[in-house]
Amino acid sequence: MVLKKYLILVMLCICGTLKAQTEEGSLFNSFDGTKIYYELTGNGYPVILVHGFTNNSQSWKHGSLYPALIKQGYKVIILDQRGNGRSDKPHTDAAYAKDAEAKDIMGLASLLKLKQYFIVGYSRGSIITSRVMVLDKRVKKAVMGGMGADYTNPNWPRRVHAYEALAGDTTHHDVDEMMAWIHKNNFDDESLKLQQKYQPSTSPAELARVKIPVLLIDGTEDKTNGDVHDLQKLIPGSAYAEIPGNHNTAGNTEQFAESIIRFLKQ
């Protein structure tokens, strides 16, 4: 009788764990053991969405693209990049170096047994998307939103200033707004610092070898990350779409979703 009660209790605990995973998402162990949170919705052609700095997977649900992709029948995959949301937030240099974030995405694609997929990034998510599209042959189309050519510079001042500000330097006033947002939301400063320290750049030579269709999409008032047209010159055959909004608003608009879906369906 005691054994029976014990087995029932164990089964209840197991079922509770599975329910928590299936209702909200799942965790997987990435290449270095870091746990990465992800969600998958739908059964069609897979599209991986990559969020920006200080955001997480749930930020996609506040805009128009996520529901539009689901409505169009795509398999939509969102994840919390390491250091964000419900994923682990390691505080070691090694955890963010050598394309760790791109490796997380490629590892997730392998876990889900994706033979090919589309990928969409916004802001810093575009920087990671850029790495994935040059490293993973399974990527068949890529979208980079809110990003100009500045990230191709390994010593991009904006990245350097963000890293130094997160390390305690108070002299870089060009990132004051970002730092105020981080402190207001009590984010993990150490993890964010390392994300900026090891934020990857993709060289013009690497971009010149890209052969897949790429869409660059930007708000009319967005001048945050350099000139998109300069980036377009670096990626052979890349398309460009301009939509209303600034860096914080353009990615949530219906025009953003419509332009991307039109590109993916071509």
> According to the model, what pLDDT value does residue 58 have?
97
| Count of all residues that appear for the chain in the document | 266
Q: Among 242, 147, 74, which Cα is nearest to 133's?
A: 147
State pLDDT tens for residues 16-51.
Answer: 333 333 347 999 999 999 999 999 999 999 999 999
Which residue in 205, 215, 94 sits closest to 146, CA to CA?
215
Digit-coded pLDDT (tens) for 214-263: 999 999 999 899 999 999 999 999 999 999 999 999 999 999 999 999 99
Residue type, 230: D
Residue 19 has a pLDDT of: 32
Q: Is 226 left (phi over 0), alpha (psi -120 to 50) or beta?
A: left
100: three-class secondary structure by DSSP: helix
* % of the chain at pLDDT higher than 70: 91
The answer to whether 79 touches 105, Cβ cutoff 8 Å, is yes
* DSSP one-letter code for 92: S
- 34 near 87, Cβ under 8 Å? yes
d(CA 264, CA 118): 8
- Per-residue model confidence (pLDDT) at position 130: 98
Average pLDDT over residues 108-129: 98
Strand ranges in the chain using DSSP code E only, listed in sequence order: 26-29, 35-41, 46-50, 75-79, 117-122, 139-145, 214-219, 239-243
For residue 118, pLDDT over 50 is answered with: yes
Residue 65's pLDDT is what?
Answer: 98
Q: What is the pTM of this model?
A: 0.91
pLDDT of residue 2: 38
- pLDDT, one tens digit per residue, over 142-186 is 999 999 999 999 999 999 999 999 999 999 999 999 999 999 999
Q: How far apart are CA 114 and CA 7, in angstroms?
A: 37
CB 224 within 8 A of CB 247: yes
Q: Report d(CA 74, CA 95) in Å as an integer.
A: 31
pLDDT of 10 > 80? The answer is no
Average pLDDT of the chain to the nearest whole number? 92
Neighbours of 97 (CB within 10 A): 12
